[in-house]
Amino acid sequence: MIRITDLPSDKSISHRALIFASLLPGRRVLHGSHFGEDVLSTIRCFKAFGVAITVHDTEIIVESRGWQQFVEPREALDAGNSGTTARLLMGICAALPFKVTISGDASLSKRPMRRVAEPLILMGADITLSNDGCLPAVILGQKLHSIDYKLPVASAQLKSALLLAAFVGGVSIIVHEPARTRNHTELFLSTVGAEIEQVGITTWFNPQAEYQFANEYSIPGDASSAAYWVVWASLADGVILELDNVGLNPSRLSYVQVLKEMGADIVTASKNSANKTERIGSIMVRSSKLHGITVSAESIADIIDEIPILALAAGFADGETCFNAVEELRVKESNRLEAITELLKTIGVTNNIDGNDLHITGAKVWHGGIIHTYHDHRIAMCAEIAAILIDADFDIDDVNCIAVSYPNFFEHLRQINEGSRVIK
Ligand code: S3P
């Protein structure tokens, strides 16, 4: 049996833990490990507001006087490659009493920001984007007002930006999502004492006069990072894999459901932990035979980060798999739809994009080749998983980008390789 117990700290939860620990006055210790570059981007940005943040091996210490005491940053806030940092910050800055510029790296500077700016402007925000609706965003904080808003895309980043604007701006908000997305921001809001209610795809938030946030907070391992090994173990021959200390928030585990429907043998088990907000536990996987399925449009938002690795799984499954309505993949860290299609073709898997649907026919024979990752961490990890499943030569052009979310990926890859069995 192969056992992994130190997955990187959940990226989405780490960003939000840092945000709430910075917004609310006090000293807090965030327990976790292997924080990726995206999380370091959030730290860099909040330090620019005057928050004292120190990163140690397995913990981050945040000392803040609260958002009311934030200072105006002297330079643009650089969100690096992190869409979550940029979009959640846009929401926060909309209500801060000064001017902030948010910038990002080449990939982030091409991603759509109008979807965030438009509802914030409806709340009264003053935001200027580049002509094509991207970063840099120049935000002049304003007094905000309530809105009742229907999100045009199912995006947890967008929903969170609006909730955070309402939180800092001290106004109520109602948001309706086209489909359910991860609910970490809502869980944090509820933990700090905000009035927040969710029924189906509608969320109501009402501000309170005072909030409290615990002095210690434990960040679980990243369920999306776990997905690479869950797929590997499902496809490899005769493997039993246990992943421990993983976040088991149901809004992040729909990929497990998809794999089970494809025939995977996966068991999750919750355990009690210091984290009262987010579920934590283990994922146990046994190798099995997978078959193709159709994944409906309504399920896509919940598996958005795992579609590339699920697409790879489909390339090893019997029959055809179809992922419906995956257009959002085009505006991730790379055009992930094109990138995964190219990767699959390179290894011998027939697939095609029909409108916004991705059709994949499982192959019987696979081969190596030259893989372009487009500097996208999730594409690079898919390429590495393909390379350990297939007994052939691979040339993957950039794997440094993996550090964005999974700095200890290659340690785990080595561990897996020792117990690895290729399928071909
Ligand atoms: C995230 C939400 C998702 C996801 C991203 C992290 C978050 O983006 O792809 O990796 O932490 O809220 P969208 O909400 O834009 O789909």
SS (H, E, C) 197-266: EEECCEEEEECCCCCCCCCEEECCECHHHHHHHHHHHHHCCCCEEEEEEEECCHHHCHHHHHHHHCCCEE
- Residue 397 appears among annotated catalytic residues: no
What's the pLDDT score for residue 420?
56
Residue pair 98/72 in contact by the 8 Å Cβ criterion: yes
What mean pLDDT comes out for the span 43-47?
98
Distance 421 CA to ligand 1 centre (A): 33
Write out pLDDT tens, residues 345-356. 999 999 999 999
Q: Report the SS3 class of residue 364.
A: coil
What's the pLDDT score for residue 424?
37
What mean pLDDT comes out for the span 319-341?
98
User: What's the longest Cα–Cα distance across the chain?
Assistant: 62
What mean pLDDT comes out for the span 248-275?
95
Instruction: Output the ligand 1 site: residues, CB below 6 A.
Output: 12, 83-84, 155-157, 160, 181-182, 304-305
- Look over the chain and give the mean of its residue pLDDT values, rounded to a whole number: 97
DSSP annotation of 70: P
Write out pLDDT tens, residues 163-197. 999 999 999 999 999 999 999 999 999 999 999 99
What mean pLDDT comes out for the span 23-41?
97
Set 305, 354, 391, 393: catalytic member: 305
| Domain map (residue ranges) of the chain | 8-213, 223-417
Residue pair 290/231 in contact by the 8 Å Cβ criterion: no
The Cα–Cα gap between 174 and 8 comes to 33
Nearest Cα to Cα of residue 33 among 5, 12, 52, 53: 5
Sorting pLDDT into bands at 50, 70 and 90, what band is 374?
Answer: very high
Nearest Cα to Cα of residue 422 among 398, 402, 397, 392: 392
Determine how many CB atoms are found less than 10 A away from the CB of residue 217: 26
Q: Which residues are annotated as a binding site?
A: 11-12, 16, 83, 111, 155, 157, 305, 332, 336, 378
Q: Atom 4 in ligand 1: which residue has the minimum CA distance?
A: 305
CATH of 8-213, one of 3.65.10.10, 3.90.1300.10, 3.30.200.20, 3.40.190.80: 3.65.10.10
What's the pLDDT score for residue 417?
87
Write out pLDDT tens, residues 64-95. 999 999 999 999 999 999 999 999 999 999 99
On the question of a common fold for 8-213 and 223-417, the answer reads: yes
What mean pLDDT comes out for the span 311-333?
98
Sorting pLDDT into bands at 50, 70 and 90, what band is 160?
Answer: very high
Structure pTM? 0.98
CATH of 223-417, one of 3.40.50.20, 3.65.10.10, 3.40.1110.10, 3.40.50.720: 3.65.10.10
Is pLDDT of 422 > 60?
Answer: no
What's the pLDDT score for residue 57?
86
